[in-house]
A and B are shown apart, each in its own frame.
Chain A
Amino acid sequence: MSELLLEIGTEEIPDWMIEGALADFEKRFRETLDKAGLAEGVSIRTEATPRRLTLVAEGLALGQADREEVLSGPPKQIAYDDEGNLTKAALGFAKRAGVEPSELKVGDDGKLRVERKVAGRPTAEILAEALPEVIVGIYFPKTMIWAGKGGPRFIRPIRWLVALLDGKVVPFEIAGVASSNKTNGHRRLGKAGLEVSSAADYREKLAGNAVVLSAAERKKRIEDGCVREFPAGGAAQVRGNAKLLHTLTYLTELPTVIRGDFAESYLELPDEVLETVMLVHQKYFAVADAKSGKLVNSFIAVANLDGDPDGEIRRGNERVLRARFNDAQFFWSTDLKKSLADRVEDLKVVTFQAQLGSYYDKTERMRALVAKLAEAAGADAETAKAADRAAELSKCDLTTGMVGEFPELQGQMGGLYAAAQGESQQVSDAIYHHYKPAGASDDIPPTQAGRLVAIADKLDTLGGMFRLGNIPTSSKDPFALRRAAAGVVRILVEGGLSLGLSDLARMADAGEHTAALREFFVERLRFTLGEKGAKYDEINAVLAADDDTPVDAAARCSAIAAVRPTENFEPLAVSFKRIRNIVEKAGGVDVYAAKVVDEALLEDGAERALHGAFTNLSAEAAALKQQGEYVAALERVASLRPAVDKFFDDVLVMAKDDAVRENRLAFLAHLLRELSGVADFSEIVTEG
């Protein structure tokens, strides 16, 4: 069995694209093997650094197996003339098949037949042919050309290619670069043109030339380095960040942790500012006090070298950070000179969206929304007042120098400035958190006032965009409306706000698209419930019953999950589905639910028993539902199972007598309708 080593040597690939590219590289390579019948028993590993995508395949066959090929020719009657000689047609077939006429035979099907051996092609030859397409076809979110118009597209220029099958070069070329057995080490600490003979040799040569091929090992070097500088259990700890760690892992071939410090006076700046500068702008890890969680005056940078013996890298990074912090300090002190309240007027010249006016206009709309929301949610006067003030000031930080420089701090800066300028904590907290939740993994605002402002902000954007017809499609959502709507839904659910989607859609003022906006919310509700772990059929069951109030839908969803494992639930769901099918087929649940059940027409026995049980339980379940006792309500419904089973055992729904049948259908429709208040059982998918 053979080993293939493939390395695509490139210029620095953007860190965030590398893992996706490796997965696609492997997939495309395996498909090629599959097509050639060479995939069996092959194991594939991939690795990457910013400058190389590497694939090693083991257990490759040296070539395709030989195979028998059967060619079928003209029938006997056409192949031979009356004298039994081969005709022109037969001779032509022999020629095409590449055999002597004497070798022609007639097969069992009465046609000429040639059996011939087709030699399998060598793997090297197949790969040489297929690899350029495998490589150039690797998906990247943004590609370039480098070899002139019409040249191949890739993420960055391909500068070398290693392709070795058992140590022998598999020859091919991409944009003038020929495959070879030569790789390159680290740009400055390694050699160029390193000859390699196998995957093991390759790995070893790279290691000897300052390249750590394995991303896992690079990651570990960074993590170990952090712990070396700030040991576990010490007074200060590196504030971990998975995203930055991933970035640095793929920005370096030989990551080395460098510790830097800065003047303590910068700690007067809010931690939010310090960390944004370090994390986002400088790609440094911040360091925090282990007890208080407050930042301390150190940071961790990661260099793509083996060390910093003279401290040059540390000094350089410290100097850059100092300049950044100086800027931030300047913004902080200058911004504080003008209160947020004095900035409200300035919002008139900051455009929110050309057709939706300025941020001043938006703020005014938000205040009106906050008032309505506060009333609908039954917020107390103090909360409503704080929410109104927060809404008024919420966008003022857009006019500050700090947010101009660090836009990702919008909202947070507003909150910090508000607090520093003596606004109440309720107000400053609400401003601080009003963009939350920023994504699926982010929390909702922690306070009631903050939630009201956050909903108002998102609702205003959604309403305005829908009114203008900027409704997201499956592929396009440039205004991140999905996130906004999901945010609203999550705040309602997690914040326990009992507001209805119909009301919200109306408040949002989406014009002719109000119904579409409501549907958009329902879709996000469906998504959000799924994110929270509900099964899709449970969500269907809950939303089929009622999809207007997210917090209520979520409660009913949890109730289903709690009741589902009990013995009666799923069998009853099966029966309910059966009932639905029967009634739908007969004319529809709506039709029959509108009819009155004539108790006199019920058959004695199972039908009357079921009716009795249903009548007893229906009011009780409705009362429990009314009190929000969803688990109890569902349990009551589930307890109907023996009666339902008995009914189906004993009673034929489609009775011959028209009146009996119609009455029975009406009864079942009522049962289905009235017992589906918490969840529509018939939506539950059961196994088997």
Chain B
Amino acid sequence: MQTYQDIILKLKKYWADKGCIIQEPLDVEVGAGTMCPETFLRVLGPQPYNVAYVQPSRRPADGRYGDNPNRLYKHMQLQVILKPAPADVIELYMQSLEAIGIDLTKHDLKLEEDNWESPTLGAWGVGWQVMLDGLEITQFTYFQQCGGVDLELIPAELTYGLERLTAFLQNVESVYDIHWNDKWTYRDVRFADERQYSVYNFELADVDMVWKEFELHEAESRRLVELFNKLEDPEAIARFPLLAAHDQTLKCSHLFNILDARGAISVTERVGVIQRVRNLAVGVAQAWMKQQHSPAAEEVAQ
């Protein structure tokens, strides 16, 4: 039996052998691995970058108090970015599945059109959902635009749903029955997490406080980007903490998701709040591009 952690370790090893940096997860709450600077900002600009990391992805509205066998408030994604995408990227991906013991002459793999778009990130790409015996196991995207900016090098983003993949390989019906290692199950490790955060997100989050927090982080992100946009000195541009501004944006995105799950955002408000987060993300992305192309940054790149 391959355990959950075996599968993660094998996939990390596989991509490490293919030349990827193995990063650790971002320590700010995100809804998807795409939002991490390792993806969202790194795909911008002219520098190649290959990275893989497991990112816990939190979607408060998807929480089910630990009752649903397939839905989770927080699930783990293995995020792989290959920038630019090599010509044999699909072959590499298929070999990664073989590395975790999936015999693709005996399992049906199909690439079905699924284009990805994130209004909050001003990002879109084209690609597929990868179906294995009828189960969606990976989202495969060629990014085209991020933060409203056309990309210079086209990256491939591979997002593996680790719980689904493991449940498939271990042939269990519920993610909670996944063997994390030989001794503990997914339930042992994560059930309390799922139950408690469902209670918090659906029932107890202090709506006024979360709104206040949202506004504070929004103001900080905006303040930083406005400061940056006034800079002219190349050195000042190069050292400016846009990554901190990005963190503030991510905070907003997560707080929005909590408010949404809590039912605190009316349908009419919703579009407007998404637009506010998007404005922050696009502001950071565009500033980041400017920073990447500043003389100081280009010198470092050479």
Contact = CB atoms under 8 A, between A and B. Distances in A.
Interface of A: 11-12, 14-16, 50, 142, 144-149, 156-157, 159, 177, 187-189, 251-252, 258, 282-284, 301, 303-305, 308-310, 312-313, 315-317, 319-323, 326-327, 330, 349-351, 354
B126 interface: yes
21 contacts: A12-B113, A142-B115, A142-B126, A144-B125, A144-B154, A145-B144, A146-B142, A147-B154, A148-B154, A149-B150, A149-B153, A187-B94, A187-B109, A303-B108, A303-B133, A305-B105, A309-B106, A313-B133, A316-B108, A326-B69, A350-B267
B236 interface: no
B142 A149 contact: no
A258 B267 CA distance: 43
B73 interface: no
Contact of A188 (B94, B133, B152): B94
Interface in B83-135: 84-85, 87, 90-91, 94, 104-113, 115, 125-126, 128, 132-135
Given A301-B108, A310-B106, A313-B107, 10 more contacts: A142-B115, A157-B142, A303-B108, A304-B108, A304-B110, A305-B105, A308-B106, A315-B133, A320-B134, A350-B267
B126 to A, nearest CB: 5
Interface string B280-294: 000000000000000
Nearest to B111: A12
A11 B90 contact: yes
Contacts of B105: 188-189, 305
Interface of B: 68-70, 84-85, 87, 90-91, 94, 104-113, 115, 125-126, 128, 132-135, 142, 144, 150-154, 168, 171, 173, 266-268, 271
Nearest to A302: B108
B113 A14 contact: yes
A156 B109 CA distance: 18
Contacts of B125: 144
Contacts of A313: 106-108, 133
A323 B133 contact: no
Contacts of A320: 133-135
Contacts of B69: 323, 326
Most buried by A among B94, B112, B144: B112
Contacts of B153: 148-149
B104 A188 contact: yes
Q: Which of B84, B90, B151 has the most CB of A within 10 A?
A: B90
A302 to B, nearest CB: 9
A251 B108 CA distance: 12
A679 to B, nearest CB: 49
Nearest to A143: B126
A326 B111 CA distance: 25
A168 to B, nearest CB: 25
A11 B107 CA distance: 19
Contacts of B126: 142, 144, 156
Nearest to B270: A351
Contacts of A330: 68
B70 A327 contact: yes
B173 A349 contact: no
Please indicate which of the listed interface residues B104, B110, B168 has the most CB atoms of chain A within 10 Å of its own CB.
Answer: B110
Contacts of A16: 113
Nearest to A358: B267
Contacts of B266: 349
B112 A251 contact: yes
A349 B267 contact: yes
A316 B133 contact: yes
A144 B125 CA distance: 8
A311 B85 CA distance: 35
A319 B173 contact: yes
A316 B105 CA distance: 14
Contacts of A321: 134
A284 B115 CA distance: 22
B103 to A, nearest CB: 8
A144 B135 contact: no
A309 B108 CA distance: 12
Nearest to B174: A323
B35 to A, nearest CB: 22
A299 to B, nearest CB: 10
Nearest to B104: A188
